[in-house]
Amino acid sequence: MTYAATQVYAPTPSVPGELKVIQDATCTFCGCVCDDIELTVKDDHIIEAKRACVLGKAWFLNHSIEDRPSCMVDGKPATLEHGYDRAAQILTHGKYPIVYGLSDSPCEAQRVAVSIVDWIKGTIDTTTSVCHGPSGMAFQGVGEVTCSLGEVANRGDLIMFWGSNPAESHPRHFTKYSLMPKGMFLPNGRKDRTCVLVDVRKTKSAKAADIFIQIKPKRDFEALWTLRALAKGIELDPELVQRETGVEFSVWTDLMDRMKACKFGVIFFGMGLTMTRGKHANSEALLALTRDMNEHTRFVAKPNRGHGNVTGADNVVSWRTGYPFGVNHSRGYPRFNPGEYTTSDTLANREADCGMTIACDPMANFSQPAREHLASIPFIALDTKETPTTRAAAVAFTVATYGINTGGTVYRMDDVPIPLRPAFPSPHPSDYDVLTEIEERVKVILGVTHK
Amino acid sequence: MTSSDYIKISQGLVYDPLHGIDGEVRDIWIRDGCIMDPPTDLAIRPSRTIDASGLVVMPGGIDMHCHIAGPKVNVARKMRPEEKRRGEQMPRTNITHSGSLGSVPSTFATGYKYAAMGYTTAFDAAIPPLGARHAHEEFEDTPCIDKGFYVLMGNNHYVMQSLKNKEPQKLKAFIGWLLASTKGFAPKLVNPGGVEVWKSKQAGNVSGLDTLVDHFEVTPRQIIKGVAQAAAELALPHPVHIHCNNLGMPGNWETTLETMRALEGHRGHITHIQFHSYGGGAGDENTFNSKVIPLAEYVNANPNITIDVGQVLFGETTSMTGDGPLGYFLSKVYGGKWFSSDTEMESGCGITPIKYRNKSLVHSLQWAIGLEWYLLVKDPWRVVMSTDHPNGGSFLAYPQIIRFLMDRTYRRDILKTCPPEILQRSSLWDIDREYTLNEIAIITRAGPAKILGLKNKGHLGAGADADITIYTPHENKEIMFEMPRVVIKSGRIIVEQGEMRDTLIGKTLHVQPNYDQAVETDIQEWFERYYSIRWRNYPVDLSYLYESCVIPTL
Amino acid sequence: MPETFTLIPGRTTDQGCGVSEGKFKAKYQTAVSSLQVAPGDMERLGLSEGDRVRLTGEEGQSVEVCITAAKKDELPEGLLFIAYGDISSQLMTGDTHGSGMPTSKGMEVTMELLQKATS
């Protein structure tokens, strides 16, 4: 089938030499998904990206048309048809096919990827498993009290960042959502808010904070449980707290006083929690602390998600399978087990025997054992640019860039879905197109007649 | 077979309450996805004849209040991996996708399960406008049924601001604009005013119809009356759909009565009324009791009111609601994991696992109160079957509820397993009424179609959508209704005896009311001041609807 | 005896911009292959800007990088920082401890000098 929403927002071709302006374009570089960008396009090149941050500008200005073949098979240029055929053969001939990535694809393409996995009885996982996967597991344990980013802008008077460095990872976070906006209940903007940063190093975000708390590395769990205890009024040994967290006890009691006294507190947390010792236990402590704080005031938490549509990937995989990431279909129906069906594991444990990567680069971002195994199995890679992963792939597709060349839908880090307004067409197929072609062939090979 | 071929359902025992057909042997003819009058030209032969002799033929079922798509449903799916590995699994076949079940099934599983049960239309009851695009995306992956959703607006800032400023014209235009922008079906109020208070302070909520909402200085009563009036003036096919204040609280029946009064004669639908029919003192479980009798008396006497029940079934499920403070309350009662999310300018959300136990006096009373509602509303056209899926239980419990209604011995047997005090606190034991098949056809098809303003659904007359369910009669009505012999959707045979034979995606039902577009300038100014996304990126355009079906205003 | 440090890989502006420019371009390659060391540690160990060091992880996995002094108080002594990417990931082990997530921050590494910068 063809998804309805892929039919729209096709970019109009550029007229040589003429300027074209795209209003309210959406930047998909990071999870902020700013949808207020004004793009100026000339000769299939974005020459200006108004309101975009430094990362957004780099994203828009550097994605011009890649002068590379749309398809490479075994390192040699090939026709798309040949690539599609070969891809379908690879995916249907393995016993343990894995599909991974998806956080830089629109939802429409993600849906096709999940369909393919369903037909081939494969395992689907997204880059969530190596960013906020542990937070997803923590959420399954204790839940989450959260809100949309506009609520933060309109109500948040105590803004905390924990293990997150938005000054470098989400540059417009402060101005657009969390610190600077003059909100409905915060008419003076920044002056009406207090900002607290907790991290193991004094990052560039510290400049934006009123209070910086530098904790010992790998002691997030202890620090968060200190706050949980203080929220519940449990007595603690100040010396022990200082020894374990690296921070004076009075700093924690002062912070808890502020947390209780604020009207609407927010904790944005990053991979400083999920990637370090404790992982999901850290995220769980933070989510539980947020929940506890609702006995005193209103308090919410939100992971600062990285990639443009990683949140969409969580949503699509969830609505189609019931689970957010790390989903295995070998029995014909979805099963979930992080640590087993997640890609770092299926590769490092040498279980996967073929695969497909979409908009991700495991050959550069995974552990050495995982990379070695990936390089040893046949796999397909889709990416807008050449990466170590596309170089190692049996079939590599150069695809059009979402939000620049193709339309579709992305979910901001707070689960708000936003449409894309592409700037100019690409000669390369979109990942939606490539995946749809592969799906058709997979269905023929497997005798699937689903319409 | 092409859609232009004729299909004949031959000699079935037909139940078509809208046309007064109560179990008569008839032929039903189908062409181009619709029901047609039997051809007068005797040369016309059907290309397929379904022999329905000895079988019961009804319009396809309509679920007018469930939670099957959108942001909070999807969060609930993510949140509950623990309930899916056990029990039934849904592997892929060569014509269907795989899915997962549990209390919150995945999208494909939802569509297939509704269809396999003979239901062909369902409405999600609570979509925040900012999540409308998400709901439409899920709808496209929810096959075999037509679907639509109600748009949360009982705590919308623009709604409250228009009421505060006494600008009913702006309110009316806003509701028209919001429904059109979201491609939604009806205005939904959830704990009107209460969710806004929850957003602004610890454990915040309103306590009754006349509590002032901070900052906006309006009351729930004003919101209910104002939106009901605007819905009437916009001539919406389905009027305001109301989840009352104080859901689940002992003594809340008075709030419910006041809510119905606040409509001041306008049409209004009170949803999952079971959760709103409790006597007793605040927080005092010892006085908790049923107040269905006085409330049903009011409903019986006031034809502007329709209800659905929100039946509770014993077992484990997931509570999910746009009522943020309720989610907080339930999470404290049950102590399990808790999700809450506030959506800017619009709404809230609460999710927590819940288990209804027949040994609990409160839970068994809730169960009994639901059944009292079906049995004490005299006019079946104004009471609709629902479990508020998955809140009271799964939509998959409908066949069991039918058995409760058609078999008083069975329901009394279950009642005997409940704490004995229930007999003094509810009238269920004393009610002898048993539903007829015709009445079941009303509360599951014809009635909801009428309440929703769906002229092409819920009946088997010429021009109706060919959404038809054929059942094998059985003494045990649960068995009869849980596995239809044949299910036809839009003229296509999609299920036979529980097996999927064919799939389709289904239509999206929405409204496109006329409204004063001049007000859009004012809405835009407000929007751009407070929202975190751009005005132009907010409306959902038609491209997100696989097949749009605009239901005309009245 | 090489000293043990805690390595914190993380996102940086240059790394983020470099991804868009291309992973084989100079900006990205430079961004993900320079190791920030606290000035105090550099002084104590007699290291200087541009020195080449080897980092070795708990299972013997190792990488070679050039060092740069962290801006004044950005990094406490005992911590190392590197932009997230190819090199930092080579120091992860294949184990995710049942979470799906390899330990990618707060890794224990030893640092030894390989070559002084040519000044």
- DSSP SS3 for A156: coil
Q: Report the residue from C79, C99, C104 with minimal CB separation from A200.
A: C79
- Sequence-ordered list of residues with C-beta below 8 angstroms from that of B250, at least 6 positions apart, any chain: B278, B279, B280, B281, B282, B283, B284, B285, B287, B288
The closest CB to that of A367, out of C21, C92, C106, belongs to C92
> pLDDT class for B281, splitting at 50, 70, 90?
confident
Interface ipTM? 0.97
- At residue A6, the pLDDT reads 52
Q: What is the pLDDT of residues B390-430, one digit of tens each?
A: 999 999 999 999 999 999 999 999 999 999 999 999 999 99
User: Cα separation of B388 and B330, whole Å?
Assistant: 16
Per-residue pLDDT at A196 exceeds 70 = yes
Mention every residue, 6+ apart, whose C-beta is less than 8 A from residue B525.
Answer: none
> What pLDDT sits at residue B286?
78
pLDDT, tens digit, for every residue of A313-345? 999 999 999 999 999 999 999 999 999 999 999
pLDDT for position A269? 98
Tell me the average pLDDT across A246-268: 98
Residue with tokens 């808890």: A256
Interface residue C61 vs chain A (CB under 8 A): yes
Chain C residues touching residue A349 (CB < 8 angstroms):
94
CA A208 to chain centre: 24
Q: Are A412 and A304 in contact (CB under 8 A)?
A: no
In contact, A200 and A208? CB cutoff 8 Å: no
pLDDT above 70 for A3:
no
Give the three-class secondary structure for B317: strand
* C55-59: average pLDDT: 94
Which of B92, B94, B531 is the closest to A150 by Cβ?
B531
**Token representation of residue A136:** 């997803």
Tokens representing residue A422 in the block: 């592409």
* Residues listed for chain B: 554
Taking the CA of residue A446 and the nearest CA in chain C, the distance in Å comes to 30
pLDDT band at residue C72 under the 50/70/90 scheme: confident
Q: Which residue from A minimizes the CA distance to C91?
A: A367
8 Å CB contact of A331 and B89: yes
Angle between helix axes B71-79 and A310-321 (nearest 10 degrees) is 70
**Chain A neighbors of B102, CB-CB under 8 A:** 322
Q: Does C60 touch chain A (CB under 8 A)?
A: no
d(CA A14, CA A425): 8
In eight-state DSSP terms, residue B463 is T
Instruction: Among A378-382, B192-196, B284-288, B508-512, name the one with the lowest average pLDDT.
Output: B284-288
Phi, psi of B75 (to 5 degrees): -60, -40
Q: Would you tell me which residues 273-332 of chain A have a C-beta closer than 8 angstroms to some C-beta of chain C?
A: 274-277, 279-280, 306, 325-326
Contacts of B14 (CB under 8 A, 6+ apart): B21, B23, B24, B25, B26, B28, B57, B58, B460
- Asked if A176 reaches chain B (Cβ–Cβ under 8 Å), the answer is yes
Chains touching B (at least 3 CB pairs under 8 A) are A
Write a three-state SS string for B358-397. Answer: CCCHHHHHHHHHHHHHHHHCCCHHHEECCCCECCCCCHHH
Q: What average pLDDT does the segment B441-446 reach? A: 98
Q: What is the pLDDT of residue C118?
A: 82
The percent of residues above 70 in pLDDT, for chain A, comes to: 98
**One-letter amino acid of B230:** A
Residue among B107, B134, B203 whose CB faces A320 most closely: B107
Cβ pair A263:B343 closer than 8 A: no
Specify the residue for token string 């696992």.
Answer: B353
B195 touching A (Cβ < 8 Å) = no
Q: How many CB pairs (< 8 A) connect A and B?
A: 221
CB contact under 8 A, A298 and B202: yes
Is the entire prediction scored with pTM above 0.90? yes
pLDDT digits (tens, 9 = 90+) for B46-67: 999 999 999 999 999 999 999 9
| Alpha carbon A218 to its chain's center | 23
The 8 Å CB, 24+ separation contacts for B470-476 are B470/B9, B470/B12, B470/B50, B470/B52, B470/B55, B470/B56, B470/B57, B470/B58, B471/B55, B471/B56, B471/B57, B471/B58, B471/B118, B472/B54, B472/B55, B472/B56, B473/B13, B473/B54, B473/B55, B473/B56, B476/B403
DSSP string, B325-336: HHHHHHHHHH-S
Q: Which of A3, A11, A135 is nearest to A420 (CA)?
A: A11
Query: What pLDDT is recorded for position A211?
Result: 98
Helix (H) or strand (E) holding B71: helix B71-79
Chain A residues touching B546 at Cβ < 8 A: 3-4
pLDDT digits (tens, 9 = 90+) for A98-120: 999 999 999 999 999 999 999 99
Please indicate if any CB of chain A lies within 8 Å of the CB of B85.
yes
Q: Does A271 touch chain C (CB under 8 A)?
A: yes
User: What is the mean predicted confidence (pLDDT) over B515-533?
Assistant: 97
The tokens for A250 are 């009075």
Model confidence pLDDT, tens digit, residues B249-271 = 999 999 999 999 999 999 999 99
Question: Could you tell me if B53 and B10 are in contact, meaning their C-beta atoms sit under 8 angstroms apart?
Answer: yes
Q: How many other C-beta atoms lie within 10 A of the C-beta of residue B404?
A: 26
Mark yes or no for CB contact A322/B105 under 8 Å: yes
B283 has pLDDT over 70: no
pLDDT of residue B4: 72
A14 in reach of chain B (CB within 8 A):
no
For chain A, list the contacting chains (3+ Cβ pairs, <8 Å).
B, C
- Chain C residue with CA closest to A306: the answer is C11
What are the CA-CA distances from residue A147 to residues A267, B77, B373, B517 (Å)? 11, 18, 36, 31
Distance CA B164, CA B161 (A): 5
Q: Which of A275, A276, A327, A336 to mutate to test the interface with C (most CBs of C within 10 A)?
A: A275
B167 close contact with A: CB closer than 8 A: no
pLDDT at A5: 56
Whether residue A85 has pLDDT greater than 80? yes
- Give me the residues of A, 244-263, that contact C with CB < 8 A: none
Q: What percent of chain C has pLDDT over 70?
A: 98
Which of the four pLDDT bands, split at 50, 70 and 90, describes residue B220? very high
CA distance C34 to B518: 59
pLDDT in tens, A145-157: 999 999 999 999 9
Cβ atoms of A418 and A407 closer than 8 Å = no
The yes-or-no verdict on residue B37 having pLDDT over 70 is yes
Decide if C97 touches A, using CB distance below 8 A.
yes
Check CB contact under 8 Å for A1 and B96. Answer: no
pLDDT (average), residues A155-180: 98
**Per-residue pLDDT averaged across A369-387, rounded?**
97
Whole-number average pLDDT of chain A:
96
Residue A218 confidence (pLDDT) above 70: yes
Which of the four pLDDT bands, split at 50, 70 and 90, describes residue B2?
low
pLDDT reading at A159 higher than 90: yes
**What percentage of chain B reaches a pLDDT higher than 70?**
99
Q: Does residue B216 have a pLDDT over 90?
A: yes
Mean of pLDDT values over A124-147: 97
Paired sense of beta strands B186-190 and B146-152, if any = parallel
Chain B contact present for A50, CB below 8 A: no
- Band of pLDDT at residue C2, cut at 50, 70 and 90: confident
